[in-house]
Amino acid sequence: MNGAPTIDGLLRAGTAALAGRSDSPGLDARLLLGKVLGWDRAALAARAERPVSAADAAAFRALLGERRAGVPVAYLTGVREFWSLPFAVSPAVLVPRPETEILVATVLERVPADAPCAVLDLGTGSGVIAVAIANERPRSQVTATDVSAEALAIARTNAASLRVDRIRWRRGSWFDAVPGERFDWIASNPPYVAAADPALAALAAEPREALTPGSRGLEAIERIVEDAPRHLHAAGGLAVEHGADQAEAVAALFAARGFEDVRCVRDHAGLPRVTLGTISDIQRGTRP
């Protein structure tokens, strides 16, 4: 092992290689080397001067090359933390974002901890919203839907590995997956990036259908808001994640469909991120 690179040396080289290609090059390098060696960040720090075999160093450099090419770290490691829980991810689902924790927190504030409540996670992806809510509210009945069979398989795996077994899984496009059913709260993080948005270029590794619904970016939200009242109990509510520049348009959709007490919750950066509202009994049925 004489002359072999050390953990510290590989981390410094990896951080330099990812500079300008990642918002967190040092963290990315530690996560990738930890994946190769099977160690967490604390173990890497404690063993900074330990030499690394040529095979492991080569594997690390290969991961760095994929990260430099734009592949998300979560896809390279196969896991992403969300709501302090480890979730498996793959290119079949979006990488969970911290902003979506705002959606989970918003719904949890309104779902009682000591009484049954029916909650729908519409477009569940890797299952982070459904699993987080079911884990925090064990008396609630959570239903999760997705049009993608691959996404549902990953979500089921996550629920099983985290021992959250109170979720019903349904395949279908939006409310087609739950015909005739009603819920107390509906949560959704739908695709909302406009098809021509330059930001999509940096997200090329993630499933496009989970990122953009069409030219305006509002198409999925429009459908959800339009159909939600027919799937809500009286005084039920809808909470939707959206782009920071879409808050006004989304609030207008809620108001036009008869939602009351419409409000927007800001994310940790102070940007409008989640719009929610409740529905009265008179508005639940089909629009006149």
pLDDT single digits (tens) 103-131: 999 999 999 999 999 999 999 999 999 99
> Distance (Å, rounded) from C-alpha 167 to C-alpha 243?
28
Task: For residue 124, report the phi and psi dihedrals to the nearest 5 degrees.
Answer: -70, -25
> Distance (Å, rounded) from C-alpha 255 to C-alpha 262?
7
| Domain spanning 91-283, CATH class | alpha beta
* pLDDT at position 261 over 50: yes
Of the pLDDT bands very low, low, confident and very high (cuts 50, 70, 90), residue 37 is: very high
> Could you tell me which of 75, 67, 66 has the C-alpha nearest to residue 28?
67
pTM for the model? 0.90
Query: What are the structural domain ranges in the chain?
Result: 7-77, 91-283
* pLDDT at position 286 over 80: no
Write out pLDDT tens, residues 161-195: 999 988 999 999 999 999 999 999 999 999 999 99
pLDDT at residue 2, rounded to an integer: 55
pLDDT at residue 76, rounded to an integer: 95
The answer to whether 105 and 136 are in contact (CB under 8 A) is no
- Output the CA–CA distances (angstroms, integers) from residue 110 to 63, 106, 126, 141, in the order listed: 42, 7, 23, 14
Q: Which CATH number fits domain 7-77: 1.10.3720.10, 3.30.70.100, 1.10.645.10, 1.10.8.10?
A: 1.10.8.10
Buried b / exposed e over 54-89, threshold 16 CB at 10 Å, is eebbebbbebbeebeeebbbbbbbebbebbebebbb
Write out pLDDT tens, residues 245-260: 999 999 999 999 999 9
Per-residue tokens: 238: 């809808």
pLDDT at residue 288, rounded to an integer: 34
Same fold? 7-77, 91-283: no
* pLDDT at position 287 over 60: no
pLDDT at residue 272, rounded to an integer: 97
